[in-house]
């Protein structure tokens, strides 16, 4: 029996998810931007409607008959949208990457009998699902994740395009990076501790600290955990110049007779240069490394992902790797394979028997393939 799925947000990733989910379900895609909705084209079992997703009453109305909701709004809207959906008593799988603490909604979700999976993208998301599975099976001692999405062509001056909401990228460069060292939670300045790493098929990239662990610092008791973002070499220096000069500042300042936030000016100038074209080739790269003891033996498990823009479907790799992970988890909930009530970070999905393999198979069917390498000792 086909289920009713409402996808909130019709950006690049939201559109890919709506199309994917319409293969097995009846899907309604919702956005305030009619042009974004028009890009969905014509697909069987997929309809669209225009609504202001910043209006809680509008959200409540469009999800009224949904079996499940998929959240794909920008990060600054994510927490309020999640709360609205939970209050409406609807299950939700979300990728909005908001800064607020989702566990503040856990009691509400449980009281409403709602399954709410957040951060269900690629990282956080798939990386957490992998770690959650191993955390249940072995004594994990070290977790490392390197991840990034980049344009195939390096164009001056930024050599970067944002495959998701650019304002969320800037937030990653200003928010302190939380990592776990020797069992202690410590903070590092974002864009710090650079590494140059060679990746087959890509070349040399630079890695730096960002606040990617998110829920893992609360749910996983692992001595050492870190996530680093990947960019083309030179990106750190450029972003640090902007940050330290104050271009990412959120406090108003007086310029003549105008009061402006530097961040608003910066985003107005940067976003046209960072906007990823609809058919612009890009790739997503991620390495997840889990080390620890299994029955007293030392093991190292490494998962490698290198996914590229799909010209046949005109779908970006970030939409594929992020969106299809989210749609895989959505199907887990719809099919009853994942049924844990309350707010769930994706590592809880990984801890649930069979879910990791189901997600891997779902992704493989769509051409998103993780290569695994395991070493003993």
What are the phi and psi torsion angles at 117 (to 5°)?
-100, 120
Claim to verify: residue 291 and residue 204 sit in the same structural domain: yes
Question: What sections of the chain are H helices per DSSP?
Answer: 12-21, 34-38, 56-62, 75-87, 106-112, 126-137, 166-174, 216-219, 235-245, 262-274, 317-318, 324-334, 346-351, 355-365
In the beta sheet, which residues pair with residue 287? 146, 304
Of 113, 109, 149, 147, give the one whose Cα is nearest residue 130.
147
Separation CA 247–CA 255 (nearest Å): 14
What's the domain count of the chain? 2
Burial class (CB in 10 A: 0-12, 13-18, 19+), 6: buried
Claim to verify: residue 345 and residue 282 sit in the same structural domain: no
In the beta sheet, which residues pair with residue 244? none
pLDDT for 231: 98
pLDDT for 289: 98
What are the phi and psi torsion angles at 329 (to 5°)?
-65, -35
Claim to verify: residue 335 and residue 266 sit in the same structural domain: no
The answer as to whether 34 is a domain residue is yes
Separation CA 63–CA 195 (nearest Å): 45
The answer as to whether 337 is a domain residue is yes
Model confidence over 124-155: pLDDT tens digits? 999 999 999 999 999 999 999 999 999 999 99
Claim to verify: residue 81 and residue 157 sit in the same structural domain: no
Q: Which letter does DSSP use for residue 193 in this model?
A: S
3-state secondary structure of 136: helix
Of 40, 313, 52, give the one whose Cα is nearest residue 29.
40
Claim to verify: residue 16 and residue 97 sit in the same structural domain: yes
pLDDT for 167: 79
Claim to verify: residue 204 and residue 250 sit in the same structural domain: yes
The answer as to whether 313 is a domain residue is no
Claim to verify: residue 259 and residue 151 sit in the same structural domain: yes
pTM above 0.75, yes or no: yes
The answer as to whether 376 is a domain residue is no
Q: Is residue 277 very low, low, confident or very high in pLDDT (cuts 50, 70, 90)?
A: confident
Q: Is the pLDDT of residue 163 over 80?
A: no
Claim to verify: residue 336 and residue 301 sit in the same structural domain: no
Separation CA 301–CA 45 (nearest Å): 40
The answer as to whether 375 is a domain residue is no
Claim to verify: residue 209 and residue 239 sit in the same structural domain: yes
Separation CA 325–CA 329 (nearest Å): 6
The average pLDDT across 6-28 equals 96
The average pLDDT across 230-249 equals 96
Q: Is the pLDDT of residue 51 over 80?
A: yes
313: which residues sit within 8 A by CB, 6+ positions away? none
Which of 282, 308, 334 terminates a domain? The answer is 308
The average pLDDT across 346-359 equals 98
Q: Give the domain extent around 80.
A: 4-122+318-370
Q: Is the pLDDT of residue 164 over 70?
A: no
The answer as to whether 26 is a domain residue is yes
Claim to verify: residue 252 and residue 207 sit in the same structural domain: yes
Q: Is the pLDDT of residue 165 over 70?
A: no
| Percent residues over pLDDT 70 in the chain | 99
Tokens 């799925």 belong to residue: 5
CATH number of the CATH domain containing 324: 3.40.50.720
Separation CA 21–CA 69 (nearest Å): 11
CATH number of the CATH domain containing 216: 3.30.360.10
Which of 279, 308, 337 terminates a domain? The answer is 308
Question: What would the DSSP string read from start to end of 303-364?
Answer: EEEEEE-BTTTTB-HHIIIIIHHHHHHHHHHHTTS----EEE-HHHHHHSTTHHHHHHHHHH
Q: Is residue 169 very low, low, confident or very high in pLDDT (cuts 50, 70, 90)?
A: confident
Separation CA 206–CA 230 (nearest Å): 6
Claim to verify: residue 300 and residue 325 sit in the same structural domain: no
Angle at 171 between CA 250 and CA 318, to 5 degrees: 145
Claim to verify: residue 186 and residue 300 sit in the same structural domain: yes
Strand arrangement, sheet containing 115-117: 46-50, 26-31, 4-8, 68-71, 92-94, 115-117, 342-344
Tokens linked to 29:
């895609």
Which of 267, 288, 308 terminates a domain? The answer is 308
The answer as to whether 283 is a domain residue is yes
Q: Is the pLDDT of residue 256 over 80?
A: yes
Separation CA 370–CA 340 (nearest Å): 26
The answer as to whether 66 is a domain residue is yes
pLDDT for 97: 87
Q: Is the pLDDT of residue 276 over 90?
A: no
| Percent residues over pLDDT 90 in the chain | 90
Model confidence over 33-50: pLDDT tens digits? 999 999 998 899 999 999
């Amino acid at each position: 029996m086909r289920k009713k799925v409402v996808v909130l947000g019709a950006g690049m990733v939201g559109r890919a998810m709506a199309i994917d989910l319409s293969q097995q379900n009846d899907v309604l895609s919702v956005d305030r931007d009619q042009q974004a909705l028009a890009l969905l084209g014509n697909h069987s079992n997929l309809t669209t409607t225009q609504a202001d997703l910043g209006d809680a009453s509008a959200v409540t109305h469009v999800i009224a008959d949904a079996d499940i909701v998929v959240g794909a709004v920008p990060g600054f809207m994510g927490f309020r949208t999640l709360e609205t959906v939970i209050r409406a008593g609807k299950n939700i799988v979300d990728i909005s990457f908001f800064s607020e603490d989702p566990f503040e909604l856990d009691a509400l979700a449980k009281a409403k009998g709602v399954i709410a999976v957040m951060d269900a993208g690629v990282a956080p998301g798939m990386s957490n699902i992998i770690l959650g599975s191993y955390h249940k099976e072995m004594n994990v001692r070290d977790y490392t994740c390197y991840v990034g999405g980049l344009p195939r062509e390096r164009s001056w001056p930024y050599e970067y395009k944002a495959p998701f909401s650019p304002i969320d990228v800037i937030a990653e460069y200003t928010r302190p990076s939380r990592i776990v060292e020797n069992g202690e939670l410590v903070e590092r300045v974002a864009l710090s501790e650079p590494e140059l790493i060679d990746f087959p098929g890509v070349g040399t990239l630079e890695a730096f600290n960002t606040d990617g662990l998110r829920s893992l610092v609360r749910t996983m008791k692992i001595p050492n955990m870190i996530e680093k973002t990947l960019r083309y070499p030179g990106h750190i220096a450029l972003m640090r110049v902007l940050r330290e000069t104050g271009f990412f500042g959120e406090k108003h300042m007086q310029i003549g007779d105008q009061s402006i936030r530097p961040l608003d000016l910066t985003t107005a100038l940067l976003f046209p240069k960072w906007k990823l074209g609809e058919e612009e080739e890009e790739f997503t790269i991620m390495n997840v490394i889990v080390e620890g003891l299994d029955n007293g033996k030392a093991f190292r498990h490494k998962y490698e992902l290198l996914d590229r823009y799909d010209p046949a479907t005109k779908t970006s790799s970030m939409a594929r790797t992020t969106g299809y992970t989210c749609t895989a988890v959505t199907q887990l909930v719809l099919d009853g394979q994942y049924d844990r009530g309350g707010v769930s970070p994706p590592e809880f999905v990984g801890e649930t028997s069979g879910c990791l393999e189901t997600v891997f198979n779902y992704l493989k069917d769509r051409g998103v393939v993780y290569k695994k390498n395991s070493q003993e000792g």
